[in-house]
Structure 1
Amino acid sequence: MKIAIISVSKKGYELSSSIKEKLDSDSTIIKIDLYHKNVKEYFPYLFEEYDAIIAIMASGILIRTIAPIIESKVTDPAVLNIDDNGKFVISTLSGHLGGANKLTKKIANLIDATPVITTSTDVNKKLGIDVIAKDLYLSIDNSKEILFFNKSILDDKEISFVVNPNKNFNYLFEYLNNNTLEINVSITFSSKVDKDEIHAVLDEHELILKERDIVVGLGCRRGKECEKIYDALKSSIRELDIDLSRINKLSSAEIKKDEKGMLELSDKLNIPISFVNLEKLRLFESQDIQKSEFVKSKFGIYGVCEPSALIMAGFDSELIYKKTSYDGVTVAIAISK
C-alpha cells in the first residue's frame, strides 16, 4: 500500500511524522510521503497516485475537499481522518475495497487512538462481500451487485459460492472457516466456472470474484536451502494473511535459474517459477522498487525479487510486500491489476 499523509497544522505535521516513522518498518507499506497544507491543490494528485490518504485535519475541511473528486468505491483510495491530537482515527472513504477500515485499526493501534468505523456490515459484525474480495485479493467484475449481496448478508440470507472442482480453493475454505459466525454461506462446485473465479449466487443475482495474480519474487545467497527459502516465504505471506494456495507464481532473475533451493520449493509447493531475463530487469523502471548498488555492481541490475515479481505479475502490477530480508533470502510480492 502506498500512503500519503497530509496535515494542515504544526501539531498535525508532527503527528504525521510520527506515524510515518512507525510505518516505515512495515513491509506491507510500500512507501509513505508527507504533505503539508495546500490541501485543495494536493488532493486531486493524491487521489490518483496513492492507495490511501491519511488526512490530519478537521473533518469539515476533508469532506469539502474530497466531495468533488469522489468517483467510485471500486477506484477511490482509502481515506482516513485523524484529529490533531491523535485521539480518533476515522475510516472516511473506501472502507472495504480501498482498505480504509483495516488501515484505520492499524493506525489507531500504532498511536493509541480510538478507531471509528461506520460501515453497516462491520458494525453488525458481518462479513461484506467486498471485504472478502479485498482480503483474498480478488477483483469484482460487476460491482453494482455489491450492495445487493451485502444487504442479503445483513439479513442472514445464505450466499452460495460456486467454484471449479479442479482447482485448489483451500484459501477460500480456510478464510470462510475462520469467519463462520459472520456470513451464512454454502459451497457448490461446477466445471462451468473458470478456475480463477468464484461466483457468488443468490436468487437471480450473481457476483463474479476473480483472482488477481499474486507473484512472489525471490532472491537468495548462492546455495540457500529450500527450507530456508520456504521459511522466508511463509513469514512474508503470514504478514499479508495469505494462504499458500492463493499464490499463483514464483519468480526470480535468470541468474538464479539453477538455484536448487528455489527449484525444489517450486516442486514442493506445486507453484510454477519463472526466471526473468537480465535484459528485461535492466530495462525495467519503477519508482517503488528498492535499488541495491551491491546487486548492480555484481549483476548489472538494481534488484531481483521486486522487479521480477512486478514483471511476472504483468503490466500495471503493484507491490503489496516490499523487499524484505530473511537470513540470506529476500522476498517481495506483487499483484496483477
Structure 2
Amino acid sequence: MNKETWAIVTLSQDGVALAERLAQRLEDKTCNIYTREKYAKKTIQVFESDITTFMGRMMGEYDIICCIMATGIVVRAIAPNLRHKSTDPGILVMDTKGEYVISLLSGHLGGANDAARLVAKRLNAQAVITTGTDVKGTMAVDVLAEKLNCVIDNFTDAKDITALILNNEPIGLINQENCELDAVMLPQNIVLLKTLSEFEKGDIEKYAGLILISLNTKKPILNTSWVQLIPQKLVLGIGCRRDTPGEKIIAAVQLTLASLNLSDKGIKALATIGLKENELGIDAACSYFKARKVIVPNEMVKMVQSRFEGSEFVYQTTGLYCVSEPCGYIASSFGKCLLEKQKMNGITLSVWLAEK
C-alpha cells in the first residue's frame, strides 16, 4: 500500500522550521516541503508561481496539504481550485508557532479531520475541528460510507440525511449487501432495519430518513428523505482482443451491469491475466470506473480453470483455456458469480460479488 502523500507549504522562515519538524514527525507519510526561494534549504522545494496557481497544482497531486500561514491566504488560494468534496484533498492550516492545526477543507472524505488530530498529537498542538457531527460526537453519512468502503450515490441526499442525524432524528439503516458493521459504532439515532419492504410497510413513519446500502440501480419510491450507499464489492473478470479501445470496454461494462441492475459505482476491480497487463483499454476502463486492475498469475488460473467452460482458441492465444471467469473468481476471493462470461465483440466479461 502506498504511503499517504503530504505537501507542507509555508511562506516564512519560522514556517520552514516548523515544516521541517513536522516532516520529521511524519516519518510514516511521504512529505514534501514547499516555500519561496529566499527561505528554501537543500531538502525544500521552491515554487515561483502565485500561491493560487501553485495550490491548484498541489490539490491535484497530494492527499493532504498542510499550510503553515494565515488562514485567509489559504482560503483565497484554494477557493478558485475547489471541485467537489469527493475529490478535494484534505487541507490543514497551522500557525507558525505550531500551537493550532485547523481542519479547513474535506474533513471527512479528504481526511483532514484525522490528519489534524495526527499533527496535533505529534507536535503537541491543539486540533481545531468544526464539522458538526464531530463536534457533537456523532457520524456523518460520508464517514459511514468511508468506513464501509461504499460510494455515496447522491451527495445532496447525503447532506440531507447527515443534517437529520445531527438533529437527533431517527434514521433507519438497511444493509442489503451485508457489509460488515461489527466494527462500526453507529450513533444511537441510527437503527439497523431488516428489509426495505418491511420499512415501506410498517416503519417508514417512525423514521425521518433512511440509509440504504445497495448495489441495485432500481430506485425505491419513498415518501421520506433517503440516501443510497453503494458498496465497492463488484469484481469483473475481463479478457479482450489486443488493442481493444478503452471506450469499447467501458461501454461493454456499463451494458453488462445495466442488464443486472447493478451500479458501476460498485466496481472494486477488473481482473485479467499477465498477457493483458499492458493493455491500454483495460487501463482506461480502470481509470474511468476508479477500479483496481488485478493481474492473476497463470498458475492460479490453471488451478481453477477446470471449473469453467474452456476454449481451444483461447488456449492457442494465451496458453489458458479461459480468462474472464477464473480471473473474476480468484480476484473476488472466490466470491459469488453474478453473471457467467458474456462475449461482446472481442470482449469477455464475468461479474462477481467479492467475499471480502
Offset at residue 142 of structure 1 (A)? 0.6
Match of 2:191 among 185, 194, 199: 185
Would the aligned equivalents of 1:77 and 1:98 in 2 still touch at CA under 8 Å? yes
SS in 2 for 1:96: coil
Per mean C-alpha deviation after superposition, the further-off stretch among 140-149 and 110-119 is: 140-149
How do 1:1-337 residues align onto structure 2 when only pairs under 5 Å count? 1-25=4-28, 29=29, 31-37=30-36, 38=48, 39-164=51-176, 167-169=177-179, 171=180, 173-176=181-184, 178-181=185-188, 183-190=189-196, 196=215, 203-212=223-232, 277=274, 280=277, 314-315=286-287, 317=290
Offset at residue 69 of structure 1 (A)? 2.0
Amino acid at match of 1:50: Y
Q: Quick one: distance in 2 between partners of 1:12 and 1:78?
A: 19
SS in 1 for 2:138: coil
Provide Cα deviations, 1:65-97, integer angstroms capped at 9, x if missing partner.
Answer: 122222322222211001111110100011112
Q: Quick one: distance in 1 between partners of 2:101 and 2:223?
A: 38
Offset at residue 11 of structure 1 (A)? 2.0
2:323 aligns to what? Answer: none
Offset at residue 201 of structure 1 (A)? 10
Amino acid at match of 1:207: V
Would the aligned equivalents of 2:65 and 2:89 in 1 still touch at CA under 8 Å? yes
Identity across the alignment (%): 29
Say if 1:77 and 1:194 are closer, same or farther in 2 by CA, change over 3 A: closer
Per mean C-alpha deviation after superposition, the further-off stretch among 80-89 and 200-209 is: 200-209
Provide Cα deviations, 1:257-299, integer angstroms capped at 9, x if missing partner.
Answer: xxxxxxxxxxxxxxxxx78517727x89xxxxxxxxxxxxxxx
Would the aligned equivalents of 1:4 and 1:46 in 2 still touch at CA under 8 Å? yes
Amino acid at match of 2:78: I
Offset at residue 194 of structure 1 (A)? 7.9
In the superposition, the TM-score normalised over structure 1's length comes to 0.58
1:237 aligns to what? Answer: none
Would the aligned equivalents of 2:9 and 2:33 in 1 still touch at CA under 8 Å? yes
Offset at residue 200 of structure 1 (A)? 11
Q: Quick one: distance in 1 between partners of 2:227 and 2:163?
A: 14
Offset at residue 175 of structure 1 (A)? 3.7
Provide Cα deviations, 1:209-250, integer angstroms capped at 9, x if missing partner.
Answer: 1123599xxxxxxxxxxxxxxxxxxxxxxxxxxxxxxxx78x
Q: Quick one: distance in 2 between partners of 1:48 and 1:93?
A: 14
Offset at residue 40 of structure 1 (A)? 2.9
Would the aligned equivalents of 1:160 and 1:202 in 2 still touch at CA under 8 Å? no
Q: Quick one: distance in 2 between partners of 1:21 and 1:63?
A: 27
Say if 1:84 and 1:197 are closer, same or farther in 2 by CA, change over 3 A: farther
Say if 1:133 and 1:86 are closer, same or farther in 2 by CA, change over 3 A: same
Would the aligned equivalents of 1:126 and 1:154 in 2 still touch at CA under 8 Å? yes
Higher relative contact order (CA 8 A, sep 6+): 1
Would the aligned equivalents of 2:100 and 2:125 in 1 still touch at CA under 8 Å? yes
Bigger Rg, which one: 2
Q: Quick one: distance in 1 between partners of 2:6 and 2:158?
A: 26
Amino acid at match of 1:9: S
Offset at residue 196 of structure 1 (A)? 4.2
Per mean C-alpha deviation after superposition, the further-off stretch among 63-72 and 6-15 is: 63-72
Q: Quick one: distance in 2 between partners of 1:207 and 1:48?
A: 28
Q: Quick one: distance in 1 between partners of 2:227 and 2:55?
A: 32
Offset at residue 34 of structure 1 (A)? 1.9
* Runs (5+) with no aligned partner, structure 1: 216-247, 252-273, 285-309, 320-337
In the superposition, the TM-score normalised over structure 2's length comes to 0.55
Say if 1:105 and 1:276 are closer, same or farther in 2 by CA, change over 3 A: farther
Amino acid at match of 2:186: N
Would the aligned equivalents of 2:213 and 2:231 in 1 still touch at CA under 8 Å? no
Would the aligned equivalents of 2:138 and 2:187 in 1 still touch at CA under 8 Å? no
Would the aligned equivalents of 1:200 and 1:206 in 2 still touch at CA under 8 Å? no
2:300 aligns to what? Answer: none
Amino acid at match of 2:231: E
1:219 aligns to what? Answer: none
Amino acid at match of 2:15: G
**Equivalences, count:** 230
Q: CA RMSD in A?
A: 3.7
Offset at residue 163 of structure 1 (A)? 2.7
